Chain A
Amino acid sequence: MPAPLFSIVTPVYETPAPVLAKMLRSVRRQRCGDWELCLVDDRSAAPHVAEMLAAAEREDERVRMRRREENGGIVAASNDALAMAEGEFIALLDHDDELHPDALALVAEALAASPEADYVYSDEDKIVGPGLHLGPFFKPDWSPERLRTQMYTCHLSVLRRSLVAEVGGFDPEFEGAQDWDLVLKATERARAVVHLPRVLYHWRVIATSAAARGGETKPWAFEAGTRAVQAHCERIGLQARVERDEVHPGLHHLRPQLREEPLVSIVIPTACQSREVRYQQQVLVDNCVRSVRERSTYENYEIVCVLDAGAPAEAVAELRELGGERLRIVDYDQPFDFAAKNNLGAADAKGEYLLLLNDDVEVATADWIERMVMYASLPEVGVVGGRLLLEDGRIQHAGVRFQGGLPGHPYHGYAGDFAGYSNDVLVARNPLAVTGACLMTPRNLYDQLGGLATEFPLNYNDVDYCLKVRAAGKRVVYDPDLVMLHFESSTRSSDVEEWEKDLLKRKWLPLTATDPDSNPHLIDERPKLLARLDFARRRWPRV
């Protein structure tokens, strides 16, 4: 199958000569020859720019350049370059960056494997000096939730040209974040998005580049990014207000703006056990329900407690008082089975959404239910979870990640302010699973999938449920701004039996062998040593 024609779109403005030469050379050294380079000089004052582009055009017929009559900014120049493009796909390349020699060839291979792909993106790194590549960004697979809070796909981005035309190209309203806006619009309509886990793009760090100075260089660009995401939320019906992260440039947060509050059923299995929490003996479920009642700003919810037989009468009386008219108690008199207890509670629940909550959890974010409903009301979302912290503020849960087909909690025990690899603790993501200690799912989906599987009475029933949701084509969402305290496994042993591991692997290994929320080049959430040598694998074809 022949490779499609790639139109590399590059607006150029006052690029230093050596940098421009390297960019041009990186294109001409592509192993795949089916490309055209559409260069638009945005009326650079430096004479070498037009001269070098004209020379490149003379030397290679695949290079075409245009010089604008007047300086119009990056969006105008990029749109002019788009207008020159004739290829089936558009590859975006900045004037001071470089492509890996295999970039287009590997994209062509990916497109051949996934003909329905309308958008392909790759991993990237930074050029910090001659031949010196640092800071590789090994990205997760396609994650719509992450793209709303971080422009993580960034470079290299290759989009089907017909789709780019359909969404109107680069929008001048979002100058500075025009790429983000374009990708948001394109992915709203894309049939498939493909991630290539290879460093195919090298982002040059020069004194004035955003790569070097983070948020200081272009505050207006970050503001444009906020507006682009806001417009996207409005287009897709996500009831949220978008806010910039004041500390981490480029990150955004969604604040729920619900138009209505559907009934949410909070299901809490409990044996009314006690333990010391903050130097005070507490009945855990009482502490949990108290925090729900006192701290939640959501109005329309009910609490269904599934109560073990033999629970202390005093604790139950206190629970009834705390829960008031919102509380219903369902008695459970079978041997301990977490899955069955949740299913029993769900059967009694009347809400449109089920919120499974462990009794050793305490609410920390007032709009926690709103946050979950915000995401769960999207038709493509099947499960929502949040960030759970231990009693002393360390991370307990920031989404579940799989290694070797088994789930684990990345960053477990790390400081609460730890941002994670590429800020992945702080951005919304689409992990394969979240913990069932605090999990929302639409009621009809729960019923459709048979609830929690009782073949996992103790462990993994939550992970198994999330994987069922994923297999049904729905997304699992991790919301970093939904924070809860989790007095982890204070009620029973957290040891996982071998048979549980075997069963989970047997059921789900094809789905979990490669975690789409991670990257093959990461191990324990850090780049593998050899992955840093990726640039060494270049093969330089003769030009």
Chain B
Amino acid sequence: MADEAAELRAELERREAEIVRLRDLLIARDAELGSARGRLLRYERRFGRLRRTVTELRAGGSVKGLAGKAARRLLRRH
């Protein structure tokens, strides 16, 4: 009976240690994933800026139109 209890305790401890090990692995994986998500977000924002420029270009009709708009803004700032 005492042996069985000791065995059970040992088994519980092993399982708890395994849970801690697996949790640590998950936390480490979360950190890796977080880093990747963070980089992705940065690229998405950059892409968003590019997309806005393309949209402006399309709305403006042509590169020439956008360049004219840019030039007017530059001159206005003088």
Contacts and interface: CB of A to CB of B under 8 A. Distances in A.
Contact of B27 (A278, A390, A530): A278
Interface string A532-543: 010011000000
B10 to A, nearest CB: 23
A530 B35 contact: no
Given A280-B23, A526-B49, A414 B73 contact: no
A415 B35 CA distance: 5
A416 interface: yes
Contacts of B73: 530
Interface stretch (A58-66, A310-318, A392-400, A474-482): A392-400
A336 interface: no
Interface in A413-460: 413-418
Chain A contact residues: helix, strand, loop or mixed: loop
Contacts of B33: 392
A392 B70 contact: no
Interface in B33-47: 33-39, 41-42, 45-46
A418 B74 contact: no
A417 B74 contact: no
B74 A536 contact: yes
A413 B38 contact: yes
A1 interface: no
Most buried by B among A413, A417, A526, A533: A413
Interface residues of B, number: 23
B23 A415 contact: no
Chain B contact residues: helix, strand, loop or mixed: helix
Contact of A394 (B34, B45, B70): B34
A190 to B, nearest CB: 29
A49 to B, nearest CB: 37
B77 to A, nearest CB: 7
B21 to A, nearest CB: 12
A533 B33 CA distance: 37
B42 A415 contact: yes
A414 B37 CA distance: 7
Contacts of B41: 413-414
B62 interface: no
A394 B30 CA distance: 10
Contact of A415 (B39, B46, B78): B39
B70 A393 contact: no
Interface of B: 23, 26-27, 30-31, 33-39, 41-42, 45-46, 49, 53, 70, 73-74, 77-78
20 contacts: A279-B23, A279-B26, A279-B27, A391-B30, A391-B34, A392-B33, A392-B37, A394-B38, A395-B38, A414-B42, A415-B39, A416-B34, A417-B35, A418-B38, A526-B46, A529-B49, A530-B74, A533-B74, A537-B74, A537-B78
Interface of A: 278-280, 390-395, 413-418, 524, 526, 529-530, 533, 536-537
Given A391-B30, A393-B34, A524-B45, 18 more contacts: A279-B27, A392-B34, A393-B31, A394-B34, A394-B35, A394-B38, A413-B37, A414-B39, A415-B34, A415-B37, A415-B39, A526-B49, A529-B53, A530-B73, A530-B74, A533-B70, A536-B74, A537-B78
